[in-house]
């Protein structure tokens, strides 16, 4: 089954061109099926690009997924037309009384910003705590992981001395975990962040299970024992060119960035990189939708019972 998105969303044309199976809302409404309701909190500046990346990964499932886009930053966007935001995004007040099968919270370019200085920090706290009662499973990505660790576990903001950027090898730490079912014992994933996720701190200060980690990047994939929350510290959603675009952006800004590790062929920015993490990314999102959302969520969301069996 496909993902279900508004007819006029730019991702419709982009994903169809890639032969990704999507279904517009008008067509989906004629099918007698209960789709999974997934709320997507997009904190990235280039919202349309991020929508395309995540919707592409959510499409690789036999389940029909109804995606609702959510925003919490009301400031004027420099990277996304206001017409797009007003047409396709809702505010938290619009959905706070609803229940959802899944929630995805993206990363944000806030690696060096203190939590107290984040404009929407209080609103984000409210949504993360709200999700404990209104969402079956929440998936946090990159900076959202750092924010959630602070809000839910009191873990202080940990920042690396320099930005980690590149594609790194990871190893499975729990071969029987269902979130990594089908993963190779070692796999590649991209990272682009200042946030620091040392495994010893995660084990000491939280009850999270570390499912995959990297010698260079630290804890990569984590989950609560009840599967209600999953945490991905990297960017599996990235396109093949995303790290390169960030590198060029930082060069133009005079930040003197390091060339992303293990990314450009022969470490040459003039050569086109390949997405060596794509199969792992699709499998990760497919496993999350199936095992952490579909297998656990009630059919009737209005009478949900969030007591989930181990």
Query: Phi and psi at residue 195, in whole multiples of 5°?
Result: -60, 145
Q: Give the distance, in angstroms, between the CA of residue 241 and the centroid of all CA atoms in the same chain.
A: 18
Return the H-helix or E-strand segment holding 38.
strand 36-41
* Residues in contact with 85: Cβ distance below 8 Å, sequence separation at least 6, in sequence order: 47, 71, 77
Structure tokens at 173: 């730490």
How many other CB atoms sit within 10 Å of the CB of residue 289?
A: 24
Task: Give the N- to C-terminal CA distance of the chain in Å, as an integer.
Answer: 27
Q: Give the integer Cα–Cα distance in Å for 99 and 134.
A: 5
* DSSP string covering 136-181: EEEEEETHHHHHHHHHHH-PPP-EEEEEEEEEEEEEES-TT-GGGT
Give binding residues for substrate as ranges.
163, 192, 249
Q: Which residues are catalytic?
A: 142, 235, 237
């Amino acid at each position: 089954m496909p993902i279900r998105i508004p007819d006029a969303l730019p991702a419709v044309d982009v994903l169809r061109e890639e032969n990704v199976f999507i279904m517009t809302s008008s067509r989906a409404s004629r099918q007698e099926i209960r789709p999974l309701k997934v709320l997507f909190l997009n904190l990235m500046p280039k919202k349309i690009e991020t929508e395309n990346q995540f919707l592409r990964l959510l499409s690789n499932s036999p389940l029909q997924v109804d995606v609702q886009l959510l925003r919490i930053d009301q400031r004027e966007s420099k990277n996304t037309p206001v017409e797009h935001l007003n047409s396709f995004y809702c505010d938290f007040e619009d959905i706070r009384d609803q229940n959802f099968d899944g929630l995805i919270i993206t990363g944000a370019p806030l690696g060096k910003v203190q939590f107290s200085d984040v404009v929407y920090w209080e609103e984000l706290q409210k949504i993360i705590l709200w999700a404990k009662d209104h969402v079956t499973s929440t998936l946090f990505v990159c900076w959202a992981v750092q924010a959630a660790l602070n809000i839910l576990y009191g873990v202080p903001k940990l920042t690396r001395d320099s930005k980690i950027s590149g594609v790194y090898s990871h190893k499975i730490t729990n071969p029987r975990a269902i979130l990594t079912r089908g993963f190779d014992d070692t796999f590649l994933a991209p990272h682009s962040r200042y946030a620091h996720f040392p495994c010893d701190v995660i084990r000491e200060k939280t009850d999270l299970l570390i499912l995959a980690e990297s010698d260079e990047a630290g804890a990569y994939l984590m989950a609560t024992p009840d599967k209600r929350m999953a945490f991905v510290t990297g960017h599996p959603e990235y396109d093949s060119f995303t790290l390169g675009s960030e590198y060029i952006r930082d060069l133009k800004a005079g930040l003197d960035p390091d060339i992303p590790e293990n990314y450009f062929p022969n470490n040459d920015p003039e050569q086109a990189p390949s997405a060596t993490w794509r199969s792992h990314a699709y499998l990760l999102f497919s496993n999350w939708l199936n095992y952490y959302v579909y297998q656990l969520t009630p059919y009737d969301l209005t009478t949900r019972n969030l007591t989930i069996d181990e």
